[in-house]
A and B are shown apart, each in its own frame.
Chain A
Amino acid sequence: MSPVNTRARTLTKYPGTNNSTSLPTQGVVGVVRLGAVGEAVLNIVAANLQEILRLPVDILPPRQSPEFAYNERRKQYHAALILKNLAESLRPHPRILGLVSVDLFIPVLTHVFGEAQMGGRAAVVSLHRLKQKEEGSRVSLDTFYERVVKVALHEVAHTFDLVHCNQAECIMRISSGPSDLDELPLFFCEYCEAFLAEAYRRYDIQSLPL
């Protein structure tokens, strides 16, 4: 595994997580794919969450696409319904992250890249809008993986009560589009790092040693 807690962090492409097939579920974060989501992106997200959040991550058995959340009028999937379902149906991980390939929305917004329960258990990331540039052409696989990891980190951090950050160099900075997402670093600023550590203590969560 590459060195942890470095500012010049790059994407970890080699999973070092607890795979459900080899280890029992003992991690803090359970990552689950819902529907047509590739195994590679799942592994990369899990590995990077484990490394950057310093939390043990488990990969959970795949689930079906969340058709229950489909909204006929919007032709999109209601993110809040997926979060509710993840939080209620998957135990015992303190935090659950779902990966979906469908387009997500919340009632007040046209779309979201991801959504999370503030201080809750569940977060979800949609790969749907992360594969393309604004003008429609596809981005490289590396850029795609990096975007997914950034949204995943950002959303899971919300479940630890972290709010959007004004620091330019922070994963919690609000991004106003996919290309803006590319500008974000793959780490938390020192303030958000401190808030995260404080949240682990508050939620009685043991982080991995540095």
Chain B
Amino acid sequence: MAVKLDSAVNGPALYEGTKIPSPVPSWLQVADSRREDGNVIQVNFGPNHPSTHGVLRLVLDLDGEEVVGMRAVIGYLHTGFEKSMEQKSWWKAINYPSRIDYLASFQNEMVFVLAIEKLLGIEVPARATWVRMALAELNRIHSHLIWLGTVGLELGVQSLYFYCFEQRENVLDLFEMVTGVRVHGRYCQAGGLAEDIPPAFVDEARNFCRGLARQIGAYERLTWQNKMFQKRMNGIGIVSAEDAIRLGMSGPNLRGSGLNWDVRKREPYLFYDQVEFDVPVYESGDCNARVRVRIDEMRESLRITEQALDKIEQLAGEPWIADDRKIVLPPREELQTSMESLIHHFKLVSEGYRVPAGEVYLPIEGPRGEEGCYVVSNGGAKPWRVHFRAPSLLTIAAAPTLCQEHLIADLIAITASLDTLMGDSDR
């Protein structure tokens, strides 16, 4: 494998060969000889267990406390979003993606809108792109905060939960200020944004960034600098970079295995090539590395947010949506005076715009890894096919590789460190 993303794959191997179970990569099977001993019992872990982050069901084979067999069962949250989106106009379909990965709601909405824009070939004004970037990074922080808080709950660092959720409220306040709702904003629009950001947003967001920057040190003291936490996390759930690539793991989980891969850096979208930020990479491949990657990522997200806020201020007064009346709603005030605007408004709201025929796959770096959106259009007013690449799906499928030769308590730490979300994997 000729990967050379900085050091990892060429550095010292974390273990010899591969740990991926065979013949089914997502199913750790118990050897028949071991089962005949009579010590192996099968336990259903979930789908309603508080440590499984939603409705993940794991079928475990336990020998004492050791996990010797494992298989994940998902689909309890399958809602058929992809099918539903085929029934709606492009305009209305934008509502759905934010419900798929509800912690990264803005990023999911954005990836679908970016795919539409790629098919349309429409140019988005700079101010709108900077606002999207600021919100995308705030959304990443939001997702990481919830993840960190629940990791705390699962590993007995209960205070962490309250520290994280306090800050999470502040992010949601910012989203409420911008979009009017706390979670499912539907703020992205093909061509730009649904409306301009409120004038007070930049200051409020700066306040939040300053506040969170002070807090992150406390998160670190409670997690990887905490002896108890270290004992649960260090050397647990090791996966090598090679195995992680083969299993399709992405995002922070890949960077925790020492691979310097970040879609924002390597295949920049929006204006990520114009901002300064570092990609945190840790090489130990264990739970601790994955936790540290995400905490460091929050710092980097703050850096990006602040740079984006500067740009938003510089571009004050510039348009926040493209000037293309065939795709974008006319300004509200024109509806009173211009017949043509009224017709455009009516056509857009009733039938919607048409998107040229073609297919695109658009990957972005979401909080949980590579979020991809595959869209097929037949040139009509509705998407022909929409498919989301769910990072959680592949992460859950990889869990049996990580849990080998570990105790059931370690399993909790491993599933926590992987940051999976069932809404994302089940769609």
- The yes or no verdict on A and B being binding partners is no
Q: Which residues of B contact A (CB under 8 A)?
A: none
Q: Which residues of A contact B (CB under 8 A)?
A: none
